[in-house]
Copies of this chain bind each other. A is one copy, B any other.
């Protein structure tokens, strides 16, 4: 599978009959440039630095479109609002630190195991496995142990 980050949005969009607008391109670039998850609001802020009266509604519209194309994905980490990121290969999950709020990505065969487990018998066809682990990250755990 080609990593979504390497994708050329322009081609993808036009290929599906959509237009490539500066707004869409910018949202995509902001998303790719970010090391961590962004809320729609954060994306809006960042793109606004370049395009002054860029509208939040367009952020949402673009994000929805990108996720339909499989380029972006919304992740829900327990909060009310969603976070967005470039679509990752699906053996990827999130570690959310309760103390510092950091969100780490983690790869492993866990998601694959879930799939395997489910395919064994009870007929549920797994399409999307969302695994979010809340806890305390290594850094915070070390600090906490000292107190």
Inter-chain contacts of A97 with B (CB < 8 A): 124
Stretch at the interface among A10-18, A31-39, A47-55, A127-135: A127-135
**Contact of B128 with A134 in the complex, beta carbons under 8 Å:** yes
A113 at the interface (CB under 8 A from B): yes
Stretch at the interface among A1-9, A20-28, A57-65, A114-122: A114-122
Interchain CA distance A138-B131 in the complex, whole Å:
21
Residue in B closest to A121 when the chains form the complex, CB atoms = B138
Residue in B closest to A118 when the chains form the complex, CB atoms = B133
Inter-chain contacts of A78 with B (CB < 8 A): 76, 130
Give min CB distance, A133 to chain B, whole Å: 5
Interchain CA distance A133-B118 in the complex, whole Å:
10
**In the complex, how many residues of chain A place their beta carbon closer than 8 angstroms to a beta carbon of chain B?**
33
Interface majority SS on A: helix, strand, loop or mixed? mixed
9 closest residue pairs by CB, A with B: A123-B138, A127-B135, A128-B134, A126-B135, A125-B136, A130-B132, A125-B135, A76-B76, A126-B133
A141 at the interface (CB under 8 A from B): yes
A46 at the interface (CB under 8 A from B): no
Interchain CA distance A137-B123 in the complex, whole Å:
7
Known: A95-B124, A123-B138, A124-B136. 6 other contacts (CB 8 A): A76-B78, A78-B130, A95-B118, A123-B137, A125-B141, A129-B134
Residue in B closest to A136 when the chains form the complex, CB atoms = B125
